[in-house]
Amino acid sequence: MPSLTQARDAFSQGKPLWSRAIATPTIEFGPTPLTVLTGKIPADLRGSLYRNGAGQLGRAGQTVDHWFDGDGGILAVHFSEAGATGLYRYVQTQGFQAETAANRYLYPGYGKPAAGPFWQRLGTQPKNAANTSVLALPNKLLALWEAGNPHALDPETLDTIGLDDLGTLQARQPYSAHPKREPSTGDLYNFGVVLGRRNYIQLYRSDATGQIRQQGQIPLPRTTLVHDFVLAGPYLVFLVPPVVLSLWPILLQNKGFSDAMGWQPRHGTQIIVVDRHSLKEVSRFETEPWFQWHFGNGYQATDGAVVIDYVRYNNFDTNQWLKEFVTGYPKTPVSVRLFQLMLDATSGKVLSNQPRLDLECEFPTVAPQDVGQRPGDLFFCYKSQPKNEEYFDGIGCLHSDGGRVSQLTFAKGCYPSEPVYVPSDEGSGWILTLVFDGNEDQSTFQILPADNLDAGPVCVLELPEIIPFGFHGTWASK
């Protein structure tokens, strides 16, 4: 049987170095003291970093059809006076356990239709992969996957407790992977997309414990994909792209969701503005076509305009790139830029929609205290060399004081993950990121000064196993 290094060599031959991070499934590890390679842990860094992502992209010689179908794995790094402790656990979903026991894939997913004869495929429910994001609550950690209920985990040990209904969710009711926390109240806002005879967005407002206290519904113009939304002062804003999902191939299990979606720019992008207090629609209007996965932030300016930062793709080719990602060498050309959209929310009018950076970037984030409230420093991953097959190799910051940009490009063959902002008792805070070094087959945990990214990390911690590129993470203070 080949060693892990041999398996990585075989998979990554002729491919970019980042492909070595996804060549083999991640190996779980228990609570492990993390060695400081350089620098020192900041004295005020006390709490836990959690990250979620597709930790297993293959099983028994099979490979998932799309990055979004990999089994969810959670990394936790706990910081205390004694130092840093890391652990990695797969979310023990019902689907993960069944497929592990069978040593083969059994369920359909975002990219994969159901297997087996036609009569066995009908009615088969997709696997809840629990692989997209995490939400830290006072007594539990939620592993989020947007097409179903979240899974609750023990925040210290990452033991899987089970599906969580947050007080009111029905079985398989969707709960998005991108909740937004309003800083002044601690309330959480989220949504789920429901498709079928009626297409609509189910809205949720939860208290700080995660318990759902209020719900609403907003109709959708078509069967489509809505991955994220933005909190902007008194509003929740949804940008509905001109992506159309054909339901019959899904119902007949001839295609996965990914292959059943098509780009139809004639529809344009529909903007839906919702009052966050009543969860009622304020306005709805259409503009030019584009696609976005993620938002950076939103707020209401002093003149009443709603300002939204988002990362914009020209079309839906990004979905094909993400499908090819699991091969380690995506070839589909994709262009993405950070844009700023300004709206008159009440009259339903686009005031402006302009690019902010000439960089290929993704995973935008701001400090928790800035979410929905005001313009703040915007952090993101970027590509220093925007080739189709390359992955992000830098962390950047667009500063709120005049648009100054700070950039940290990592050494060749080193690739960071989404930046997570952590407030500091002194200074402007820290940026936490995982970095995979394809030269050394090593993952490290790095702590960067938020106000001086150019200076590089103040601390680098060694992780005992390779952590693949994930999607989203969060910080929970002690």
Domain ranges of the chain: 4-477
- Cβ atoms of residues 284 and 277 within 8 Å: no
Q: Which residues contact 102 (CB under 8 A, 6 or more apart)?
A: none
**Per-residue pLDDT tens for 324-369?**
999 999 999 999 999 999 999 999 999 999 999 999 999 999 999 9
Whether residue 39 contacts residue 45, with contact meaning beta carbons closer than 8 Å, is answered with no
CATH 2.130.10.10 fits 4-477, yes or no: yes
DSSP 8-state code for residue 67: G
31 φ/ψ angles, rounded to the nearest 5 degrees: -55, 115
218-272: pLDDT as tens digits: 999 999 999 999 999 999 999 999 999 998 888 888 889 999 999 999 999 999 9
- From residue 96, alpha-carbon distances to 104, 115, 471 in Å are 10, 16, 19
Strand partners, 298: 308
Residue 271: which of 352, 373, 193, 349 has the closest Cα? 349
425 has a pLDDT exceeding 90: no
What is the rounded CA–CA span in Å between residue 414 and residue 2? 25
On whether the CB atoms of residues 340 and 307 are closer than 8 A, the answer is yes
In tens, the pLDDT along 115-132 reads 776 666 667 889 999 999
Enter the tokens of residue 180. Answer: 């937004």
- Report the C-alpha dihedral over residues 461, 467, 468, 472, rounded to 10 degrees: -70
Q: Say what the pLDDT of residue 401 is.
A: 87
**pLDDT over threshold 90, residue 146:** yes
